[in-house]
C-alpha cells in the first residue's frame, strides 16, 4: 500500500484519499509530524499508514486549490536540460553526454493550481516528472536510486526563454526561477503505486491543445543515472527535488509562447495533474 502525500495551505501534511484530504498528524495520533518535510523522510513507514486509515472519514474535501507545493521547502532543486532525445533535436542541440544540470531556486515553487505570471512574451511550458528524494546521501549507485526516492510528482519547469539565453554563455537557472515558475503536485505519489516508475506517460495541454506527449522511458539519463550522477558531486538531502527534463513539444520550437488568460494542464498518468492559469504579473 502506498501513499499520496500533499501539503495544505496551512502548511500541514495531508494524505490524499479517495474521499478527500486526511490530516496526517491527527490521523496517526501524532506518530507522524504535521511538517511535510519531516513526514516525507519516513516514506518507508508512511506506505503502511494507508492501510490503517481505510474507512476513516476525510477531514476536508479533495480540493486541489487548498494545496500548496507538496514539498514546500526542499534544500536543493535540480533541473536537467535536454534529457529527451526528441527535445534535444527540436532544440537544435547535440545530445548530452553528461547530464546538463541547472537549478530552479526554491522561491519559484508553487502549488498545483497556482497562477503563473507571464513576465514576458517568451514564457514557455515544460511538463516534467519530478523525483522527491526520501533518503539522501552521497555516491548512490544507479541500481539503488529508487530505494532513496520517497515518491514522484508532476512539475512544470516554466521557462522565460529570453532570460534563459540572455547571457553569454547562457545559464538556465534565472529564467526558470520567477515567482510560481515551479508548480508541483498535487501530491508525492509513493513509488510502489506506480506500475513502472521508469515508464510514465506525460502530457501538457495549453487551452486544450496537446502540446507535449511523451514517456519517461525516453529519458536519455533515467532516474537511476541522474541520482548516481548528482550524488557523485552533491550530497542529496531528504526532500530534494529533481526536475528530470521535458519531452518534445515546447513552445520555443514552434514559435509560440504562453499568453495571459491561457491555462496549462500538465499530467502524468497515475501521478496527477497540474492546472495553472497564466496571469498578468
Size of the site for Zn ion (CB under 5 A): 3
CB of 102 to Zn ion, least distance (A): 8
User: Which residues in the 162-191 window bind Zn ion by CB under 5 A?
Assistant: none
Residue 101 CB, nearest approach to Zn ion (Å): 11
Q: Is residue 228 within the footprint of Zn ion (CB under 5 A)?
A: no
3-class secondary-structure state, position 265 = strand
At its nearest, how many Å lie between Zn ion and the CB of residue 279?
21
CA angle 196, 198, 203 (to 5 degrees): 95
Cell output for 61: 474535501
**SS3 category, 120:** coil
264 CB-near residues (< 8 Å, 6+ apart): 116, 125, 156, 204, 205, 206, 258, 274, 275, 276, 277, 278
Pattern of binders to Zn ion over 123-162, x per CB under 5 A?
A: ---x------------------------------x-----
Beta carbon nearer to Zn ion, 157 or 205:
157
Least Cβ distance, residue 263 to Zn ion (angstroms)? 20
Q: Which is nearer to Zn ion, 14 or 230 (CB)?
A: 230
Return d(Cα 266, Cα 268) in angstroms, integer.
7
Cα–Cα dist 125/258, whole Å: 7
Among 8, 244, 246, 276, binds Zn ion (CB under 5 A): 246
Which residues contact Zn ion (rule: CB under 5 A)? 126, 157, 246
Amino acid at each position: 500500500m502506498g501513499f499520496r502525500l500533499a501539503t495544505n495551505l496551512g502548511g500541514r501534511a495531508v494524505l490524499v484519499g479517495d474521499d478527500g484530504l486526511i490530516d496526517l498528524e491527527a490521523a496517526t495520533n501524532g506518530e507522524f509530524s504535521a511538517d511535510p518535510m519531516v513526514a516525507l523522510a519516513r516514506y518507508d513507514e508512511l506506505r503502511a499508514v494507508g492501510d490503517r486509515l481505510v474507512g476513516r472519514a476525510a477531514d476536508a474535501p479533495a480540493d486541489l486549490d487548498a494545496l500548496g507545493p507538496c514539498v514546500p521547502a526542499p534544500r536543493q532543486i535540480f533541473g536537467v536540460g535536454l534529457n529527451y532525445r526528441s527535445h534535444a533535436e527540436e532544440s537544435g542541440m547535440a545530445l548530452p553526454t553528461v547530464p546538463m544540470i541547472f537549478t530552479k531556486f526554491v522561491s519559484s515553487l508553487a502549488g498545483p493550481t497556482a497562477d503563473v505570471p507571464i513576465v514576458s512574451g517568451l514564457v514557455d511550458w515544460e511538463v516534467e516528472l519530478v523525483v522527491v528524494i526520501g533518503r539522501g546521501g552521497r555516491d548512490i549507485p544507479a541500481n539503488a536510486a529508487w530505494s532513496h526516492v520517497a515518491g514522484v510528482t508532476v512539475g512544470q519547469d516554466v521557462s522565460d526563454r529570453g532570460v534563459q539565453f540572455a547571457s553569454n554563455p547562457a545559464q538556465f537557472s534565472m529564467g526558470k526561477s520567477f515567482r510560481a515558475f515551479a508548480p508541483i503536485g498535487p501530491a508525492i505519489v509513493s513509488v510502489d503505486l506506480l506500475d513502472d516508475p521508469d515508464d510514465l506517460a506525460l502530457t501538457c495541454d495549453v487551452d486544450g491543445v496537446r502540446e507535449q506527449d511523451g514517456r519517461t522511458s525516453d529519458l536519455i539519463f533515467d532516474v537511476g543515472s541522474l541520482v548516481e550522477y548528482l550524488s557523485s558531486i552533491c550530497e542529496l538531502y531528504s526532500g530534494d527535488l529533481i526536475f528530470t527534463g521535458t519531452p518534445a513539444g515546447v513552445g520555443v520550437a514552434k514559435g509560440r509562447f504562453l499568453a495571459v488568460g491561457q491555462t496549462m494542464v500538465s499530467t502524468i498518468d497515475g501521478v496527477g495533474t497540474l492546472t495553472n492559469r497564466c496571469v498578468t504579473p
